[in-house]
Amino acid sequence: MVQIRPIKKEDNAAIAIIIRAALVEFGANKPGTVYFDATTDHLYELFQSHKRCAYFIAEEDGLILGGAGYFHSEGLDETTCELVKMYLSKSARGKGLGQQMIAYCMAEAKKGKFEQMYLETMPELQKAIHVYEQFGFDYLKGPMGNTGHDGCGIWMLKKI
């Protein structure tokens, strides 16, 4: 059974490998993305050092399957957070875990008094985009805030 839990320091290496492998798999390992972001190797520390954010790991029988989080990114208003670093290992995809992770992040963000969830993604990640559309994320004409990931060309927003 899959367990969703807060990230631990010892999860850093495994989740960084999953994130980068997914980006390589879909041809999205390009400058301006989390592939080249140094914080990808230190997600536990990143999420411990900021307020109003959390990162969660999906794990089954001790094996990390992926992760996702929410973050109050620079430049976003107080009611808006960003869905961040939502990646699953290849073997974990297609089983509904992505939807489960997004729903979990939304519920946790709502507890944190957020009213909207923003995300940035890339055309290469069509399967993820389809899931976001199913959740009711609406397309935006441009980015919100200052996430530092200028390699993403798709921006979406949803009330939570």
AA letter at 68:
A
**Between 126-134 and 97-111, two packed helices, what is the crossing angle to 10 degrees?**
50
Q: Is 45 helix (H, G, I), strand (E, B) or coil?
A: helix
Write down the pLDDT at residue 126.
84
Name the token pair of 62. Answer: 């001790």
* Largest separation between any pair of C-alpha atoms in the chain: 42
pLDDT confidence tier of residue 17, bands split at 50, 70 and 90: very high
Model confidence pLDDT, tens digit, residues 71-105? 998 889 999 999 999 999 999 998 999 999 999 99
The pTM of the full predicted model, rounded to 2 decimals, is: 0.93
Write down the pLDDT at residue 41.
95
> Domains (ranges, CATH) in the chain?
3-159 (3.40.630.30)
pLDDT confidence tier of residue 151, bands split at 50, 70 and 90: low
Answer yes or no: are the C-beta atoms of 35 and 20 closer than 8 Å. yes
d(CA 39, CA 16): 9
Write down the pLDDT at residue 13.
97
Sign of CA dihedral 17, 41, 119, 63: positive
